[in-house]
Structure formats: structure tokens, C-alpha cells
Chains A and B, each alone.
Chain A
């Protein structure tokens, strides 16, 4: 059974720091992995989607990497800003058709201090 964990559960950093959020999954047979951002009391915003054949994806100050063999993905945020404060979730899809088997991690709550 696939399990997705995210460490740390919460993170507080001063503005301007580079930081890394971690996502681990127990079954390396995945189709893709997606990173989301969730602001308090709001829905999820998709940040980056990495297919299993890819090693990383970049969007602006965000870079997500994927190492299937070790069951890990990282989300790197460069030059953090207070506006980056949110909860970051990763989600793993096991195969192309198992839309109902997407497993979400519990999230990392990020606070960027001005």
C-alpha cells in the first residue's frame, strides 16, 4: 500500500533563504508526482507536475526533483518570500488510469518571516 509522507510537518525560515521541502513515498512504481500549494482555508493550487520519466521540473523560483528509485521528491524554493507562506502538499499517482488512487501527503506548513 502506497504511503506518502512529508517532512518536516512545519518549517519557519527568514525571508530570503533557500529551502527544501521533502516528500517520500513507499512504492516507487508511480506514474507522476504533483506538488500543490494550499493557502489557509483555501483550495489547492498546482505548482509542478513531474512525470515518472522526468527528473525535475522548474517554474520560476520553484524546482521540483524526482528520484523514483529512492522514493523521494524535493521542492526547492529559492529566495523565499513572505508570500510563499502556505502549506505545500505532494500527491502521487500510481498509474495512468488510477485517478481514484492518487495519494496525498499530509503537507508541510511553511512560514516565511519578513
Chain B
């Protein structure tokens, strides 16, 4: 596998379920990101990790819980979600946080909350 991979690609869950999204990057990058893309809205940054340490939490509800066990893996744990949380969740990575570093995105997980 090369680049940034995300699993699952599609997920349907009820509001009482607990699920996790997984992201893995094979680029040797140190920074990883979670974005949310809702229909007809620009991308929203949710979380940022640099060298496994969370550096940003953009006022994301606690029903979203990130985990970064190492620089190559990033998880987003989901519990008691709401229908409005249905969206495409994108993971990205970059060599570092500095501005000259391009972000590389995974294919996303299409989440539907019933």
C-alpha cells in the first residue's frame, strides 16, 4: 500500500453504536489530520496530530474521539453520533506542520448515521 489509506470506505451506524475509523499513511510523514466534509460545505479541520501529539481540536464534539498511537496510524472513535454527523471523513498527512509541506489525503470514509 502506498500513500494514505482509510478503512472502512463506507460505514452506516445507528446513533447508539460505537465505531472507529482508521487511517494509515505510508509516506513517512509526522503530521496527520482529520477533516469532515459535509454536503455543500467546505472542508472542516477536526484534529491535528504532530509526532503523535494532538496539537489542534477545532471545537469538535466529544462524541468524536481521536487516537494517534504512532506517526503512521490515526483513528477516529465514534459514539452516540447524530444524523447531522453524516459526512465524508477525510484523513490527511504531511511531512510536518510548516506551511511548505503539502498535505496528502486518503480516499475518505463515507459515514451515514441513521
Residues of A within 8 A of B (CB): 4, 31-32, 34, 36, 41-46, 49, 51, 89, 91, 93, 95-100, 102-107
Besides the known contacts A43-B92, A98-B99, A104-B42, 4 further A-B residue pairs in the complex with CB atoms under 8 A apart: A31-B99, A42-B108, A97-B99, A99-B99
Residue of B nearest to A94 (CB): B99
Question: Given the interface contacts A100-B48, A100-B56, A102-B45, does A42 sit within 8 Å of B99 by beta carbon?
Answer: no
**Contact in complex: A93, B107 (CB < 8 Å):** no
A–B complex contacts, Cβ < 8 Å, 15 sampled:
A4-B42, A32-B100, A36-B105, A41-B88, A41-B108, A41-B110, A42-B108, A44-B105, A46-B103, A49-B102, A89-B43, A93-B99, A96-B99, A98-B99, A104-B43
Question: Given the interface contacts A41-B88, A42-B107, A43-B4, does A100 sit within 8 Å of B58 by beta carbon?
Answer: yes
Question: Given the interface contacts A34-B102, A41-B88, does A99 sit within 8 Å of B107 by beta carbon?
Answer: no
User: What interface size band does chain B fall in?
Assistant: 20 to 34
Question: Given the interface contacts A41-B108, A103-B42, A104-B42, does A46 sit within 8 Å of B102 by beta carbon?
Answer: yes
**Contact in complex: B106, A43 (CB < 8 Å):** yes
Residue of A nearest to B40 (CB): A106
Within 8 Å CB of B97, what residues of A?
A: 97, 99
Within 8 Å CB of B110, what residues of A?
A: 41
